[in-house]
């Protein structure tokens, strides 16, 4: 059986021939204008939706079509059930006396003093595994190869190939030393054709960087 195409809504075929309704390739089901998703990134949900386009609101509940910020999710990300990405439109001002967003209950004209003035994008790199119930806070920058523990609350910048957990999340350790991380980022296997990726599955999942470098050098 060939590898599932990135435009497949339900990419997991069960032994009886049916498709697992709880796992979707996000690029195939999301039409939200403020979300950019790379190929093969998937979301798994314990309570599947009848309309899979609704996963945009489940994953990023405060990202509206008129929001100024963008949510970017790279390729081959694995997003578990209950993950929420809180984007910048959910922010309140907190540099003054009150955090109350008066403007949203009135005419939301530009320059209202109760509203934030900046709306940073939220960026998630490639091959990121986000554990069950984790929360990504507004403006987070998550590097490639990151593992986010279940229930973690993540803000700020997370370096490539870090493991983070806790509330607030902190780096537990890096998965590889700095030299190997630099080599992996140069290889960028997620940008290869899917046929080449599958052919080198053992090296990718087994950590054989030397083999991956030889494959990358061949173009």
Mean pLDDT of 154-180: 97
Residue 98 counted as domain residue: yes
Q: How far apart are the first and last CA of the chain?
A: 26
Q: What is the CATH number of the domain that holds 57?
A: 2.160.10.10
Residue 188 counted as domain residue: yes
Q: Residue 205 and residue 24: Cα distance in Å, rounded?
A: 22
Residue 18 counted as domain residue: no
Question: Could you tell me if 19 and 36 are in contact, meaning their C-beta atoms sit under 8 angstroms apart?
Answer: no
Q: Residue 72 and residue 32: Cα distance in Å, rounded?
A: 12
Which DSSP symbol is given to 17?
S
217 in helix, strand or coil?
A: helix
Same domain, 135 and 198: no
Told to judge if 20 belongs to the known catalytic residues of this protein, a careful annotator would answer no
Beta bridge partners of 117: none
Same domain, 115 and 210: no
Question: Could you tell me if 102 and 112 are in contact, meaning their C-beta atoms sit under 8 angstroms apart?
Answer: yes
Considering only the C-alpha atoms of the chain, give the largest distance between any 2 of them, rounded to a whole number of Å. Answer: 61
- Does residue 33 or residue 218 have the better pLDDT? 33
Same domain, 160 and 186: no
User: How many structural domains is the chain composed of?
Assistant: 2
Same domain, 162 and 190: no
Same domain, 186 and 86: no
24 in helix, strand or coil?
A: strand
Point out the catalytic residue in the list 19, 20, 32, 92: 92
pLDDT in tens, 82-132: 999 999 999 999 999 999 999 889 876 677 899 898 999 999 999 999 999
Q: Residue 154 and residue 168: Cα distance in Å, rounded?
A: 6
Same domain, 156 and 186: no
Residue 17 counted as domain residue: no
Cis peptide before 168 (omega within 30 of 0): yes
Same domain, 62 and 128: yes
Range of the domain at 72: 23-175
Q: How many helices (H) and strands (E) does the chain have?
A: 6, 15
Residue 11 counted as domain residue: no
Same domain, 121 and 201: no
DSSP codes, 145-177: T-EE-TT-EE-SEE-TTEEEETTTTEEEEESS-
Same domain, 62 and 164: yes
Residue 186 counted as domain residue: yes
Helix axes 209-217, 178-187, angle to 10 degrees: 30
Q: Residue 91 and residue 73: Cα distance in Å, rounded?
A: 20
Same domain, 94 and 192: no
Same domain, 189 and 169: no
Q: Residue 204 and residue 30: Cα distance in Å, rounded?
A: 28
Q: Residue 24 and residue 15: Cα distance in Å, rounded?
A: 18
pLDDT in tens, 51-73: 988 999 999 999 999 999 999 99
Same domain, 130 and 218: no
Across all residues in the chain, what is the average pLDDT?
A: 95
Question: Could you tell me if 138 and 120 are in contact, meaning their C-beta atoms sit under 8 angstroms apart?
Answer: yes
Percent share of the chain, pLDDT over 90? 88
Mean pLDDT of 176-182: 97
Q: Rounded to 5 degrees, what angle do the CA atoms 177, 153, 112 make?
A: 120
């Amino acid at each position: 059986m060939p590898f599932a195409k990135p435009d497949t809504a339900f990419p997991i075929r069960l032994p009886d021939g049916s498709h697992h309704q709880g796992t979707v390739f996000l690029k195939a089901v999301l039409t939200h204008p403020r979300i950019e998703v790379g190929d093969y990134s998937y979301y798994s949900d314990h309570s599947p939706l009848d309309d899979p386009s609704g996963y945009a609101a489940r994953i990023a509940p405060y990202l509206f079509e008129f929001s100024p910020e963008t949510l970017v999710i790279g390729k081959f990300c694995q997003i578990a059930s209950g993950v929420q990405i809180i984007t910048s439109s959910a922010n309140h001002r907190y540099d003054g006396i009150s955090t109350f967003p008066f403007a949203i209950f009135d005419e939301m004209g530009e320059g209202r003093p109760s509203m934030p003035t900046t709306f940073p994008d939220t960026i998630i790199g490639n091959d990121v595994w986000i554990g069950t119930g984790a929360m990504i806070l507004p403006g987070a920058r998550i590097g490639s190869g990151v593992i986010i523990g279940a229930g973690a609350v993540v803000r700020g910048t997370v370096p490539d190939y870090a493991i983070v957990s806790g509330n607030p999340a902190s780096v537990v350790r890096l998965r590889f030393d700095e030299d190997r991380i630099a080599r992996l980022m140069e290889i960028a296997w997620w940008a290869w054709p899917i046929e080449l990726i599958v052919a080198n599955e053992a090296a990718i999942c087994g950590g054989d960087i030397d083999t991956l470098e030889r494959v990358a050098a061949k173009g």
